[in-house]
Amino acid sequence: MVWKVKGLAQGKTRRVTKSRPRKASGKGVRRTTKKKDTEPSLLKYEIIGIVLLCCGIFMTVGIVGIDTGSAGHSIDGILSYIFGIGRIVFTLSMVILGLKYIILRKAWPLTKNWLAGTVLFVLFLGLIHLLFIPQGAEFMPAMLRVGGGAAGAAVASLLRSFLGEFGAVLVVVALGIVTLLVWKKWSISRPVAIVSDKASEEVSRVSDKAVEGLQEASRSMQQWHEHHHIFDLEKEEQEEQAEAVGTARTDRDVPVAEAEPVPALESREEDSLLHGPRVDFTSEKRDGLLENEECIPDLTEELDISPVSAAPAVLPPEGRQDDDYDDGLPDTEKQQEEGQPMEQPVRDVLQEELADLKPVEIDAQSTAVDVAPQGHSAVPVAKGENTYRLPPVSLLKPGKPLAEGLSEEARQNAVILQETLKSFNIEAKVTNASQGPSVTRYELEPAAGVRVSRIVGLADDIALNLAATQVFIEAPIPGKAAVGIEVPNKTRTGVNLRDVLDTDEFKNAASGVPVSLGKDIAGNPVIADLTKMPHLLVAGTTGSGKSVCINTFIASILFKQRPEDVKLVLIDPKVVELSVYNGIPHLMTPVVTDPKKAANALRWAVREMDDRYKRFSQGFARDIKSFNEKYPDEAMPYVVIIIDEMADLMMAASSDVEDSICRLAQKARACGMHLVLATQRPSVDVITGLIKANIPSRIAFRVSSQTDSRTILDMGGAEKLIGNGDMFYFPTGAPKPIRVQGAFISDAEIEQLVTFIKNQNTTEPKYDESIQQSAGESSGDTAGFFEDELMPQAIDMVLETGQASSSMLQRRFRVGFTRAARMIDTMEAMGIVGPNEGNKKPREIIMSPAEVQAKFFHKDT
């Protein structure tokens, strides 16, 4: 609507338009909206920071060892696989980044700082892998966890393949330095220049001080010369005045000749003229005094004592010389030096003291023998007419001592072992480790709820990660709430026999027959007593250490026991193992090498056992120890029967050998007879059930299969031994076997030992030849063949039928197999029938009835 308004002054009209309402422009609204949208955008960074902070703390806590559940274990496993021990750096970086997001509330773009930090982190992981992980094992799961992870393994493997070990380390270090220089814009020359500038400033400062000091010293020297010149002039004036005064005094007092001091030598000569000849020291002492007399100052000059020329001479009392040279010796020694006879009372006292001394008899041969250790006296001890010296352990070579503490290899294996179990979600902690000569045992303490069977089932995986040939798991260790994992050492330390014989455990062993076995996992000596075993079964494959163990047994007895205390019966079907001991007085018979004679020796042992029990009953004694205490004049020695190869005897004469061994194993302990049986084939046909049941103590070296291990130990494990003396010792009464590194004795040391013992005997040793003979041969007539009352009838039956078999005698005479077989063997010993040819062939009848009648029945038998 337009109104026309007439201008009063101008006379014009003006159109006035009615104002309309304006639309809102929207500027103020947009300004308010922008201010409200800013708050959510900043909260976004705080949320991101909180998430990063929580994740970083969660993962860091899991790495430290606090339980974070299955999720934490899974995340830790992934990080361990990627970054290894560098995962802690990754998690702490997440914590720092989260704090920055929360505090600064802004994004952090990928800049050169992030790039440089990442490069340094990867190089750090690669350096860890290069330094601590061996080549070829970079990508093993256990190595990834203790090294630099997959990132470090990739860097290490790539650089090692192109540059080798040293070149790879050099390149990684160089790249790290270059990255730091580029990142921080540092310069290597800058610190060198700073150090050189400071050094030059210090040198100039020190040189200025030195110049000032020289100038000061020159001024001081000049002043000293001037002062010294003045002092010399004053001194000359004082001397001239003193000479003038002294001349006047001497003219007034006494003549100069009387005032001069008398030298010491002239005074002594004057005394000798006054008092006669002087009794001196020995000529050597006096010559020394005269030579050094010029160096002795005159005491009269030092003390300013004026000499007295007219003093009267004082003579010493009669019968005594001048005491000016009293040397402090007793009167008796002085009289001896002077050649005078000793006073009578002193001589009587010395004669009485000499009379109280007892003469000491010294053997002429004792000086040629090395000094024996404590408990092994090398001086002959008389026992009747026999004298015998125990050989000293100095005949043996000492071994290398075990290092104290754990080696670096053992520490690394402990970490790898714990990480390996952790990778299989088994929480266990290595609480202790015992490092022995050849094996290290790690004691694991599983967490609550962890089954021991799970750890036992991972034996192969543990061996793979530890790069070990075999791993033996003892679950649990007897007497401890821990699982033992035994890992072979890469560097083995041998155990010499001297290292065990020279210990207090062996020297102080109580009465009995102690023998040395070796050292256990902890390095402690293992000593066994044959009287407590009382019999021992040894098994192991060729090269496992079985024969060396037998030699250490024999050597231990020779070092500890005298021939009258212990006797040996050695059976060696292999001929070459024990023949070196022939000629020593401990043997009751030469080393038996023939299997037939070995059976005779075992039968003799059975007869000897029966005879001893008869003597025990007559003497009212229960065992050999009580009998020897009651009747020391009729003391019986212990008898140790050692069979080196049991399988050969069982193949040659299984029935006789098994019967004799079973009887000895059942009854021979109380009468002091002990068996040591060794075989390299511990099968059930060699170690039968009867033999195994009566021999409780066992030693197992490495065997070929778990079946053989169960035969000897009643459990598996011997097939996992590493050989060369590594054994399981299962004594009677023990819950589980003990792992021992056997002691070693060389052939040269055995020869030295045997030679030392043989050289003490001037005559040949007396052996009992009846041991290797059969009963009839040993008696010298035919009476021994007919100990069995059925023997004549059995001979007639064999000659009539022309058949010689145990089964026939069992049926005809209704006797057991053992008795029938013994009668057949007796006929073989008599020469009536031939040996068993096997393959179910009948024995050959050698003698005719007439020959048998003429040879064996010409007397009333």
Residue where a domain terminates, one of 446, 464, 487: 487
Cα separation, 518 vs 436, whole angstroms = 11
Q: Give yes or no for a contact between 531 and 732, defined as CB atoms under 8 angstroms apart.
A: no
**Are residues 527 and 676 located together in one domain of the fold?**
yes
Residue 647 Cα to chain centre, angstroms: 36
Q: Residue 446 sits in a domain of what CATH number? A: 3.30.980.40
Cα separation, 623 vs 511, whole angstroms = 14
Report the interhelical angle of 646-667 vs 595-618 (nearest 10°): 10
The mean pLDDT value of the chain amounts to 75
Q: Is 655 annotated as a binding residue?
A: no
Cis-peptide, bond into residue 446, ω within 30° of zero: no
* E-state strands within 521-669: 525-529, 536-539, 566-571, 638-643
**Are residues 818 and 844 located together in one domain of the fold?**
yes
Q: Domain for residue 333, yes or no?
A: no
Q: Domain for residue 354, yes or no?
A: no
pLDDT at site 303? 37
pLDDT at site 283? 41
pLDDT at site 261? 44
Q: How confident is the model at residue 257 (pLDDT cuts 50, 70, 90)?
A: very low
769 by Cβ neighbours in 10 Å (0-12 / 13-18 / 19+) ranks as exposed
Report pLDDT digits (tens) over 469-522.
Answer: 888 888 888 888 889 999 998 888 889 999 999 888 898 887 789 999 999 888
pLDDT at site 642? 94
The structure tokens 């009464």 sit at: 733
Q: Give yes or no for a contact between 128 and 89, defined as CB atoms under 8 angstroms apart.
A: no
Strands 673-679 and 638-643: parallel
Backbone angles phi, psi at 850, to 5 degrees: -65, -40
Cα separation, 480 vs 311, whole angstroms = 97
**Are residues 615 and 753 located together in one domain of the fold?**
yes
Q: Which of 56-70, 350-364, 797-811, 812-826 has the lowest mean pLDDT?
A: 350-364
Cα separation, 705 vs 724, whole angstroms = 17
Q: How confident is the model at residue 728 (pLDDT cuts 50, 70, 90)?
A: very high
pLDDT at site 740? 92
Q: What is the mean pLDDT of residues 608-633?
A: 90
**Are residues 692 and 544 located together in one domain of the fold?**
yes
Domain of 142, in residue numbers: 40-188
Gyration radius from the chain CA atoms = 52
Q: Domain for residue 1, yes or no?
A: no
Token pair for 245: 């005064």
pLDDT at site 231? 65
Total of domains in the chain? 4
Reduced to 3 states (helix: H, G, I; strand: E, B; else coil), residue 311 is coil
**Are residues 448 and 510 located together in one domain of the fold?**
no
**Are residues 629 and 777 located together in one domain of the fold?**
no
**Are residues 605 and 650 located together in one domain of the fold?**
yes
Q: Which of 9-18, 56-65, 166-175, 242-251 has the lowest mean pLDDT?
A: 9-18
Cα separation, 371 vs 832, whole angstroms = 58
Q: Domain for residue 377, yes or no?
A: no
Helices (H), 253-282: 256-259, 264-275
Q: Residue 794 sits in a domain of what CATH number? A: 1.10.10.10
pLDDT at site 340? 45
CA within 13 Å, CB half, 200: 5
Q: Is the pLDDT assigned to residue 175 strictly greater than 60?
A: yes
Which one, of 791, 842, 853, 792, lies nearest residue 819 by Cα?
A: 791
Q: Is the pLDDT assigned to residue 377 strictly greater than 80?
A: no
Q: What is the mean pLDDT of residues 712-724?
A: 87
Token pair for 268: 């002594």
Token pair for 84: 């290894």
**Are residues 444 and 547 located together in one domain of the fold?**
no
Report pLDDT digits (tens) over 99-134.
Answer: 888 888 777 666 777 788 888 888 888 888 888 888
Report pLDDT digits (tens) over 425-435.
Answer: 888 888 888 88
Q: Domain for residue 685, yes or no?
A: yes
Cα separation, 282 vs 140, whole angstroms = 87
**Are residues 715 and 587 located together in one domain of the fold?**
yes
**Are residues 501 and 477 located together in one domain of the fold?**
no
**Euclidean distance between the first and the last CA atom of the chain, given in angstroms as a whole number:** 174
Q: Is the pLDDT assigned to residue 360 strictly greater than 50?
A: no
Q: Is 831 annotated as a binding residue?
A: no
Q: Is the pLDDT assigned to residue 292 strictly greater than 70?
A: no
pLDDT at site 678? 92
pLDDT at site 425? 86
Strand partners, 520: 740
**Are residues 70 and 162 located together in one domain of the fold?**
yes
Q: Is the pLDDT assigned to residue 812 strictly greater than 60?
A: yes
Residue where a domain terminates, one of 133, 164, 188: 188
Q: Residue 510 sits in a domain of what CATH number? A: 3.40.50.300
Q: Domain for residue 297, yes or no?
A: no
Q: Is 167 annotated as a binding residue?
A: no
Residue where a domain terminates, one of 471, 487, 503: 487
Q: Is 541 annotated as a binding residue?
A: yes
Q: Is 547 annotated as a binding residue?
A: yes
Q: Domain for residue 513, yes or no?
A: yes
Cα separation, 831 vs 183, whole angstroms = 103
The DSSP code sequence of 531-547 is TTS--EEEE--TTSSHH
Q: Domain for residue 578, yes or no?
A: yes
**Are residues 751 and 777 located together in one domain of the fold?**
no
Q: Give yes or no for a contact between 699 and 539, defined as CB atoms under 8 angstroms apart.
A: yes
Q: Is 246 annotated as a binding residue?
A: no
Token pair for 472: 């033996």
Backbone angles phi, psi at 314, to 5 degrees: -105, 115
Q: Is the pLDDT assigned to residue 610 strictly greater than 70?
A: yes
Which one, of 56, 197, 175, lies nearest residue 119 by Cα?
A: 175
